A and B are shown apart, each in its own frame.
Chain A
Amino acid sequence: MRPPIAKFIREVSEKMSTPAKKSTAARSRWSQPVWVVPGVLIALLLIVLFTKWLTGLPGVQTFLHDFPGASSLPANAPVGFPAWLGWQHFLNVFFMVLIVRSGWQVRTAKRPPAQWTRNNKGFIRTKNPPTKISLDLWFHLTLDALWVLNGIVFVIVIFATGQWMRIIPTSWDVFPNAVSAALQYASLNWPTEDGWVNYNALQLLTYFVTVFIAAPLAIISGLRTSSAWPKTAGTVNKIYPIELARAVHFPVMVYFVLFTIVHVTLVLATGALRNLNHMYGGSDEINWVGFGIFAVSLLVIAGAWFLARPLFLRPIASLMGKVSK
């Protein structure tokens, strides 16, 4: 008999992995945009009114005073962002966009545009003959490798320079402060921006979750589903079944997409020029330098998106293996 957890995982992964036909239940009136849009707006309005009332209470006011929304950083924490961080950030965006897209193609392609077989004489050599994978999957895995490399460099350098203190909580008061920041956002009385020096606690926790939880989850679930994972690792494969990895991989992607939407929205809504200068311009000034670099980086990403088609991927893929039909 299957243990219930395995059954649950299987059900979830089945739901996740097969784009099922729309059932009649999914077409209920709640899924109609005409209901959803006003519904969401009313819910948001209620949240705002509720938190406005809540933050007016004396006890909550004391809480907000005690926990202003940001934990204080250690004294030796660096101020501002160096150029290498902006560069790492750009590469991360670049890879992530293409990874999500190629991953989506791997999921949805009924017939891949081409197949790729690694030639076992080059950089990576294995005892067993390499398996044939689709060109989409080759692109996804190649980007993954570059993204992971970029991530490793990032982690090493943030620990070497002390930048880690900006995105890893250093005291427990980060949690009440995060609640405080959430109340301030929800009551439309947004916390004061000081991103050059210190993030607010909610922001810090979100960045921490993204870098140190979501990214590793994406990597280990991706590794498990890839053909690089040994098929004969009996006990390990029983503890960590491929169905679990599949059930994790897709929701993590959804998390990254939602994070990006909220992140970009807040960056643009809380002093766009200054925020963009922080990450792209490496300064705390308010001018168009960071915006310009950001705009160029978007053009580069759009260009890569446009060029990432079989016609141009095939010649690159054939440098590392055999491209066939």
Chain B
Amino acid sequence: MKIVVLVKQVPDTAEERKLNLATGQLDREATDSVVDEINERALEAALRLKDADKGTEVVAMTMGPADAVQALRKALSMGADSAVHIVDDSLNGADTGRTAATLAAALRVTGFDVVLAGNESTDGRGGVVPAMVAEHLKLPLLGSLVSADIADDGVHGVRQGEGGTLTVRAALPAIVTVTERFPEARFPNFKGILTAKRKPVTTLSAAELDVPAGVSRTVVVATVERPPRAAGRKLIDDGTAADELAEFLVANRLV
């Protein structure tokens, strides 16, 4: 079985993340870049399948600037067999639609049985790229799963919705996204770090993938810095606190 795990290099959430106010794009200098944790969980799910069946091939794929190869190295050191890096200056600032089209094109090139991804990234929080990729590839999407059982004859899992849980199943190939309910990822070990340097990383450009050039269909209208948080209101009980509290809750539609 061949599993492609989509990984995204994101700014570390432990630090303060910044947007460039002029361009509306992420300020990559402001924070350290890491593999998004949700992608690590997706990779962990793939690596557990590989642990159980050595015939499983795990490929890590990312689209990002030259520096994003660090994210792939991390995935390789954790245990992925090979990596695909889609890097092209023309993809700079690509929106979710263009990103999904590019990833779908790259997935057609590499081939796969299962695509594993995170349900949403910590930076964009869009959560739409996997669905768009599924649409481009005309494949079923099993999104936001809390558990998954992936086998040669298909994948079935439990999906957490707002109203309850859903048991979903699909034949392969399929796109699966994981939530934070999936197990925490392993740490790379010494052997993994040493062998990661020798594992193949394929580089693909937009031209090689034959994706329509063109700019993104969405535009950033405005970028503003988040205003500092306003101080809260203190209620001091002089006999009317209960009423004031009730009023506050009603006014903010919290009851």
B193 and A311 form a contact (CB under 8 A): yes
- CB neighbours of B193 from chain A (8 A): 311
Interface residues of A in 97-121 (CB under 8 A from B): 111, 114
A144 CB, nearest partner CB in chain B, Å: 24
**A111 — which chain B residues lie within 8 A by C-beta?**
14
Which residue in chain B gives the minimum CB-CB distance to A315? B189
**A90 nearest CB across to chain B (Å):** 27
Taking the complex as formed, is A323 at the interface, i.e. its CB lies under 8 A from any CB of chain B? yes
Q: Report A-chain residues with C-beta under 8 Å of the C-beta of B185.
A: 325
Task: Count A-side interface residues using an 8 Å CB cutoff.
Answer: 10
Query: In the complex, how many angstroms separate the beta carbon of A114 from the nearest chain B beta carbon?
Result: 7
CB closest residue in chain B, given A312: B190
- Which single residue of chain B is at the shortest CB-CB distance from A110? B14
Which residues of B sit under 8 angstroms from A325, Cβ to Cβ?
37, 184-185
**Cβ-based interface call for B248 (8 A):** no
A314 interface hit (Cβ, 8 Å): yes
Inter-chain contact B184/A324, CB cutoff 8 Å: yes
* Chain B window 153-194, contacts with chain A (Cβ cutoff 8 Å), 1 for yes, 0 for no: 000000000000000000000000000000011011110010
Interface size on B, residues (CB 8 A): 9
Please give, as numbers and ranges, the residues of chain A lying within 8 Å of B37 by CB-CB distance: 325
Indicate with 1 or 0, residue by residue over B187-215, a CB within 8 angstroms of chain A CB atoms.
11110010000000000000000000000
Q: How far apart are A207's CB and chain B's nearest CB, in angstroms? A: 41
- For A114, list chain B residues within 8 Å (CB): 187
- On chain A, the residues within 8 Å of B184 by CB distance are 324-325
In A267-296, which residues have CB < 8 Å from any B CB? none
Residues of A with C-beta under 8 A to B190: 311-312, 315
Q: How far is the CA of A111 from the CA of B32 in the complex (A)?
A: 13
The complex places the Cα of A259 from the Cα of B190 at a distance, in Å, of: 37
CB contacts under 8 Å to A, within B1-38, are: 14, 37
A111–B188 alpha-carbon span in the complex (Å): 18
Closest Cβ of chain B: how far from A130's Cβ, in Å?
Answer: 18
**How far is A26 from B11 in the complex, measured between Cα atoms in Å?**
35
Residues of B near A315 (CB, < 8 A) are 189-190
A323 pairs with B187, CB closer than 8 A? yes
**For A311, what are the chain B residues with a Cβ–Cβ distance below 8 Å?**
188-190, 193
Question: What B residues does A314 contact at CB under 8 A?
Answer: 187, 189
* Chain B positions 42 through 73: 1 when the CB is less than 8 Å from some CB of chain A, otherwise 0: 00000000000000000000000000000000
Give bound CA distance, A114 to B193, whole Å: 17
Name the residue of chain B whose CB is nearest to the CB of A314: B187
A111: nearest residue on chain B (CB-CB)?
B14
Q: Which residues of chain B have C-beta atoms less than 8 A from A324's C-beta? A: 184
Cα–Cα distance between A324 and B190 once the two chains are bound (Å) = 17
Compute how far the CA of A289 lies from the CA of B96 in the bound complex, rounded to whole angstroms: 70
Residues of A53-112 at the interface with B, using a CB-CB cut-off of 8 Å, are 111
CA distance A287 to B14 in the complex (A): 56
The closest CB in chain B to the CB of A318 belongs to B187
Q: How far is the CB of B32 from chain A (nearest CB, A)?
A: 11
Q: How far is the CB of B56 from chain A (nearest CB, A)?
A: 24
Q: How far is the CB of B12 from chain A (nearest CB, A)?
A: 9
Considering the complex, give the chain B residue whose CB is closest to the CB of A325.
B184
CA gap between A324 and B189 in the complex, in Å: 14
Q: How far is the CA of A111 from the CA of B15 in the complex (A)?
A: 10
With both beta carbons as reference points, the residue of chain B lying nearest to A323 in the complex is identified as B187
Which of B188-246 touch A at CB < 8 Å?
A: 188-190, 193
Interface positions, chain A 291-317, Cβ under 8 Å from B, are 310-312, 314-315
Closest chain A CB from B197 CB (angstroms): 15
Interface residues of B in 58-95 (CB under 8 A from A): none
How many angstroms from the CA of A325 to the CA of B34 in the assembled complex? 14
Nearest chain B CB to A312 CB, angstrom units: 7
- Look across to chain A and name the residue whose beta carbon is closest to the beta carbon of B190: A311
Smallest CB–CB gap between B120 and chain A, Å?
19
Instruction: State the Cβ distance, B95 to closest chain A Cβ, in Å.
Output: 31
Residue of A nearest to B187 (CB): A314
Q: How far is the CB of B17 from chain A (nearest CB, A)?
A: 15
Nearest opposing residue in chain B for A324, CB measure: B184
In the assembled complex, 7 residue pairs joining A and B whose CB atoms fall closer than 8 Å, in A order, are A311-B188, A312-B190, A314-B187, A314-B189, A315-B189, A324-B184, A325-B37
- Known contacts A311-B193, A315-B190; 9 further A-B pairs (Cβ under 8 A): A111-B14, A310-B187, A311-B188, A312-B190, A314-B189, A323-B187, A325-B37, A325-B184, A325-B185
